[in-house]
Amino acid sequence: MSSSVFSPFQNLARDAGISRNTVTSYFSILTHTLLGSMLPAWQPQIKVRERTYPKFYWFDCGVARAAAGLLDDPPDRAWLGHALETYILHECRVRNAVSGQARGFYYYGLPSGGEIDLIIETRRPQPERPARVIAVEIKLAEKWERKWERTIRDLAATHRVEVERMIGVYTGTRTYHMDGFDVMPVGTFVNELHAGRLF
């Protein structure tokens, strides 16, 4: 099990050969004991068949590695990428709790496989106004690739949601601002976050 799990419960149940209710109860135990948390799917109903199932994140990626029996194995890049997502989500939740803003956190998944790692809802949708969000793409990479912006830019182009900020977080060292899209190193993102300059 990786540091984040986003397969629908029925798929996990089928793979494990147990009932969906059993899988649901296991994840309920993990969330109630604070070993992990769910990140709900954001469903603005812009596309047909947006993902509806939540992603599960362990509170600590070391716990996830221990649970998977991988403590003696070196982590691969996929694992490190999930760990980075977990870290960024954790820092955003800490900022949310400390600031008392009660922002909603989600991920946005499309049936085509496109995904936005983190949606921070700064205004809920209302009859006369669309939702306002900050969209964040997280990449374990030393160099930023413009293709990673596509899903967020496509979302902003629909005009059915107000994308307040488009942000890319990566493990490189340079900060960029490209056509309304802010790309920043992990450390810069965390500093901006806790200084209250992101939400």
Residue 185 pairs in a beta bridge with: 170
With b for 16 or more beta-carbon neighbours within 10 A and e for fewer, the 151-170 pattern comes to bbeebbeeeebebbbbbbbb
| pLDDT per residue as tens digits for the range 56-82 | 998 888 888 888 888 899 999 999 999
Distance CA 45, CA 13 (A): 27
What is the residue-wise DSSP string for 81-108?
HHHHHHHHHHHHHHHHHHHT---EEEEE
Whether the model clears a pTM of 0.85, i.e. scores above it, the answer is yes
pLDDT at residue 179 in the model: 96
Which residues on adjacent β-strands are paired with residue 37? Answer: 57
- Is residue 133 within 8 Å of 116, Cβ to Cβ? no
User: Which strand ranges, in their side-by-side order, compose the sheet holding 55-58?
Assistant: 4-5, 55-58, 36-39
Q: Is the confidence at residue 5, as pLDDT, over 70?
A: no
The mean per-residue pLDDT over the stretch 109-133 comes to 92
Measure the CA–CA gap between 166 and 144, rounded to whole angstroms: 14
How much is the average pLDDT of 91-99? 97
The residue assigned the tokens 């403590």 is 71
Cα 45 from Cα 87, distance rounded (Å): 28
What is the chain's mean pLDDT, rounded?
91
If pLDDT is split at 50, 70 and 90, which confidence band does 93 have? very high
* Residue 102 contacts residue 130 (beta carbons within 8 Å): no
Give the tens place of pLDDT for each residue, 173-191.
Answer: 999 999 999 999 999 999 9
Q: What is the mean pLDDT of residues 127-154?
A: 97
* The pLDDT value given to residue 111: 77
3-class secondary-structure state, position 116: strand
Instruction: Please tell me the predicted confidence (pLDDT) of residue 6.
Output: 58
Cα separation, 101 vs 97, in Å, equals: 7
Average pLDDT (119-136) is: 95
Q: What distance, in Å, lies between the first and last C-alpha atoms of the chain?
A: 32
- pLDDT band for position 17 (cuts 50, 70, 90): confident
pLDDT of residue 121: 98
Given a cut of 90, whether residue 192 has pLDDT beyond it is yes
**29 SS3 class:** helix
